[in-house]
Amino acid sequence: MALSADCRISLSTPVQLRGARGLVGRKYLRLIKFSNGEVMGQKVQKLHHQQGNGTKKNIMQPISMSLTADVASESKLRDLEGERRDPRTVVAVILGGGAGTRLFPLTKRRAKPAVPIGGAYRLIDVPMSNCINSGINKVYILTQFNSASLNRHIARAYNSANGITFGDGYVEVLAATQTPGVEGKRWFQGTADAVRQFHWLFEDPRSKDIEDVLILSGDHLYRMDYMDFVQNHRQSGADITLSCLPMDDRWRFPTANDFGSEIIPASARELYMKAYLFNDYWEDIGTIRSFFEANLALTEHPPRFSFYDAALPMYTSRRNLPPSKIVSSKIVDSIISHGSFLTDSFIEHSVVGIRSRINSNVHLKDTVMLGADFYETDDERAALLSEGRVPIGIGENTKIKECIIDKNARIGKNVVIANSEGIQEADRSSEGFYIRSGVTIILKNSVIKDGLVI
């Protein structure tokens, strides 16, 4: 068995590394022991193997972090004869249960992997699409906080009716549960604890052919062939392989019961660990600022990450929306998602989500608009306006910059959202907005009245 996990870790080597996506280790049950927060810090039982003379020898191999091998040698490693590249022997576990406190208020009513990105996708679509494109058809998604919208999206997007088939595989959402006993009364204590509480899954008859467990984060943006990663792990003979990125400075993310801060350091003392260099685009969408910048980066020419890859597509829910209708508008370096209405507006360096409605003389700059869950008819909009209320979308003569507009927001006429005073942090939930790291966030389903200046 092998275990692969998304982790955040910094290790001193000739080239420092930042954890991106992986841990890989054979005999996964041994690793799951580390997931128990109660045994963290205690001495780990040494590993042994039986020698020909019947004696046992301690295996105390240091972490292998040498990066002297270049791309050519990595390719040669993958091409070694006798190794199998069979995705049917791999199961993916996507961690989707974090509270998402750093992404609040976008995670106020949704799990972090359910946060929209790129106008038409959700963060969970990234690891799910990577699994599909890698041929991995056995996927578990572990959830705990605000999982209703995530469960709904998974059910709609990843099924045969949506044109996605998993053959003899499966996609199962596993919610945190409480069971009899002292430990069973706790919720997930961290990424590793979430996996530990579901280790019984690997005793299921469906798992009899599983050799490797791929543990993935639900809030990263990247494109990766997981089978290259797994194949490298198998050929190296490592207990754990961690997929890493080059970096200049050391990062440190201490988190209780977490792979990055506890599992990896504890394992490094006893198991053979290997680094797999992932030298491509990767972004941790863990904060409001990183979410904001990652979305706007999609408008670059060319973008550092692109959803437009026919060979390795990103999958999502099929919504059957019509094309966007754009009337007398100017659009510069922006993404306009399907089903939107733009009239006599100026959209600059922005991402506009599905079903968005932007009215006359609106100027959006450096703005991420997540769109809407439903349409209001013309009659409904007219009735709201006649009552002095605000319909979904952005009203006339409104100017917005450096802003995230969550779904179903109602922004009135003559509104200015610019944070001209440069405020970094503010909580104005009663007024429908927050400011985080200098970015204004208009709350989901909120109402911004006519003429308000933020």
The 10s digit of each residue's pLDDT in 231-250 is 999 998 888 888 888 766 44
Residue 54 — pLDDT band, cuts 50, 70, 90? very low
Alpha-carbon distance of 218 to 141, in angstroms, equals: 9
Residue 213 has a pLDDT of 87
With cut-offs at 50, 70 and 90, classify the pLDDT of residue 185. Answer: low
| DSSP tag of 453 | B
- Report which residue type is found at 201: L
- Alpha carbon separation from 250 to 23, 149, 211, 351 (Å, rounded): 19, 35, 33, 32
pLDDT tens-digit series, residues 313-365: 999 998 899 999 999 999 999 999 999 999 999 999 999 999 999 999 999 99
All structural domains of the chain with their residue ranges: 87-179+186-247+256-298, 325-448
Q: Can you tell me the mean pLDDT for 369-394?
A: 97
The span from the CA of 348 to the CA of 356, in Å, is 15
Beta carbons of 353 and 116 less than 8 angstroms apart: yes
What sign results for the dihedral spanned by CA atoms 179, 181, 184, 186? positive
Burial label for 117, CB within 10 Å (0-12, 13-18, 19+), is buried
- Identical fold for domains 87-179+186-247+256-298 and 325-448, yes or no, is no
What mean pLDDT is predicted for residues 167-179?
A: 76
Q: So what's the pLDDT on residue 10?
A: 31
Using 50, 70 and 90 to split pLDDT, how confident is the model at 189? Answer: low
User: Bridge partners of 47?
Assistant: none
**Sign, CA torsion 417/422/427/428:** negative
Residue 212 has pLDDT above 60, yes or no: yes
pLDDT for 71: 46
Which residue would you say has higher pLDDT here, 130 or 58?
A: 130
pLDDT band for position 73 (cuts 50, 70, 90): low
Write out the CATH class of domain 87-179+186-247+256-298.
alpha beta
Q: Which of 371, 370, 307 is nearest to 129 (CA)?
A: 307
Place of tokens 């754990």: 240
What's the whole-number average pLDDT of the chain? 78
Dmax (CA) of the chain = 91
What is the model's pTM? 0.79
> What does the pLDDT read at residue 279?
87
Nearest to 243 by CA among 75, 7, 1, 2: 7
* Structural element, H or E, at residue 222: strand 220-222
Q: What is the pLDDT of residue 240?
A: 84
- Does the structure show a pLDDT above 70 at 64? no
Q: Greater confidence, 123 or 32? A: 123
Inform me whether the pLDDT recorded for 289 exceeds 80.
yes
105 preceded by a cis bond (ω within 30 of 0): yes
Average of pLDDT values for 168-179?
76
Summarize the confidence of residues 67-83 as an average pLDDT: 47
Fold of domain 325-448: UDP N-Acetylglucosamine Acyltransferase; domain 1 (2.160.10)
Backbone angles phi, psi at 129, to 5 degrees: -65, -40
Confidence of residue 148 (pLDDT cuts 50, 70, 90): confident
Nearest to 115 by CA among 92, 130, 98: 98
Cβ(401)–Cβ(367) under 8 Å? Answer: yes
Instruction: Copy the structure tokens of residue 67.
Output: 């990066």
What is the C-alpha to C-alpha distance for residues 454 and 450, in angstroms, rounded to an integer? 12
Beta pairing class for 425-428 and 433-436: antiparallel
Query: What integer pLDDT is reported at residue 186 of this predicted model?
Result: 58
User: Which pLDDT belongs to residue 267?
Assistant: 56
